[in-house]
Structure 1
Amino acid sequence: MQTVPASDPASPKKRGRPLKGTGGNLRAELIEKSAQLFRERGYDNTTVRDIAAATGIQAGSWFYHFKSKQEILAAIMEQGVAQSLAQIEAIAAQELPPRAMLRQLVEVHLHTLLAPDHHFIPVLLYEARSLDESSRARILALTDRYEAVWDDAIARLHQSGEWTLPTRFDRLFMFGALNWTVQWYKADGAADIAQLADAAIQFILRTPES
């Protein structure tokens, strides 16, 4: 939905349609701030007033963009997964060797998980149970496409012989290890995300790059 242009900062706010913020449209800011609050406090412990306060608007203005807290939860997940999906599908479309493709997929996934302003995957991991049935179906369709890219990359590694002793649980084990990094990774630690991706590939494939 569109918003009206921001008024002069010195003039009082008018009632009615929320104004567009300096950091982008208000809907995008609501999604960003809500994702951060849901990650830090949990979905159940975050109120509509908390979200309104975080974005500097009146509580009633929040409902111009979203009818319920449930709706914004779905928007966080849907928008976040769609953005990451676009990135990894672009990688999959390239003519890359199997190991190089997996390396790029891992780095994108880790960046999505661990970048300071990225909150949607932790919200997706821990708050998906709060989605209603129709929202869950939309998110599931996107995550199925996301996982299909990884399944294809893993299959290519199996075929090349670079992933020895394949099992039908490879993607699940790999995602479990990668997703758990949100619990222990520190941005000011001993490795950046690119270095962490290198280490993850060596851990997963158990062989150095030739």
Structure 2
Amino acid sequence: MAVGERDGVRTRARILEAAQELFVERGYAGTSIADIAGKLGTSKATLYYHFNSKELILGALITEPLSLFAKLAERCAKERLSPEELLRALIDLTVETHAVNALLSSDPSISPVLRGMYDVEGSTRTFIHALAGPNASDEALARAWAAFAVAKQGAFWAVEAGNGTLSPAQKQEFLAAALRCLDQ
């Protein structure tokens, strides 16, 4: 990679880091391109060179975590993952993508942008139906929603309250609790 390319990659990374901090602090709607440029000590023109809009900055921040979520849903739809495999992968993904999940869960102004980029609801429905099984009863669907909530939201809030990670023992406990929701 040439020096100019490396500098461009570093600049983009700095822009994304500054934007994420401001989005968490002020919200997506409450942060402007001028705010991000000011935090970086640069001009709006520099930002526009790397990102044409604030929406593209948000897109760059959330693309990887949401594409990983979508890929897990695709894998779930194609393969017959056991509930244990699916819930373990969901817990690991939640821990791995915690910083961006915190941003997404704390700012309602992001939801319309997010819906335009990814079908998060569709991926979630794929997980629920995989956990509930074919021709699931209302009771099985309720247990699947509970297991999903324990795995995803439980792990998220534990990471949020802790040091940014979960120990292997904590991950195993969330997995066991989610499986108990499914009566497994």
- Give the TM-score taking structure 2 as reference length: 0.68
Aligned match for 2:116, one of 102, 123, 138: 138
Aligned to 1:69: 54
2:31 is aligned with 1:31: no
Aligned-partner residue type, residue 138 of structure 1 = G
Bigger RCO of structures 1 and 2 (CA < 8 A, at least 6 apart)? 2
Q: How does 1:103-118 map to 2 (within 5 A)?
A: 103-113=88-98
Distance 1:27 1:106, change over 3 A: same
Give 3-state SS (helix, strand or coil) of 1:166's partner. Answer: helix
Aligned match for 1:48, one of 20, 30, 33: 33
| Runs of 4+, deviation exceeding 6 Å | none
Instruction: Give the Å deviation of 1:38.
Output: 1.9
Aligned to 2:162: 185
Instruction: Give the Å deviation of 1:184.
Output: 0.8
Runs of 5+ consecutive residues of structure 2 not aligned to the other structure: none
Distance 1:79 1:107, change over 3 A: closer
Distance 1:70 1:100, change over 3 A: closer
- Give the TM-score taking structure 1 as reference length: 0.61
2:172 is aligned with 1:205: no
Number of residue-to-residue matches in the alignment: 177
Please provide the CA RMSD for this pair.
Answer: 3.8
Give 3-state SS (helix, strand or coil) of 1:43's partner. Answer: coil
Contact in 2 for aligned 1:91/1:104 (Cα 8 Å) = no
Give 3-state SS (helix, strand or coil) of 1:106's partner. Answer: helix
Aligned to 1:116: none
Aligned match for 2:7, one of 16, 21, 26: 21
Aligned-partner residue type, residue 62 of structure 1 = L
Q: How does 1:72-87 map to 2 (within 5 A)?
A: 72-87=57-72
Instruction: Give the Å deviation of 1:147.
Output: 0.9
Aligned to 1:120: 100
Instruction: Give the Å deviation of 1:123.
Output: 1.4
Q: Which is helix-richer, 1 or 2? A: 2
**How many Å separate the matches in 2 of 1:84 and 1:63?**
29
Contact in 2 for aligned 1:81/1:142 (Cα 8 Å) = no
Runs of 5+ consecutive residues of structure 1 not aligned to the other structure: 8-18, 114-118, 160-164
Instruction: Give the Å deviation of 1:59.
Output: 3.3
Give 3-state SS (helix, strand or coil) of 1:186's partner. Answer: coil
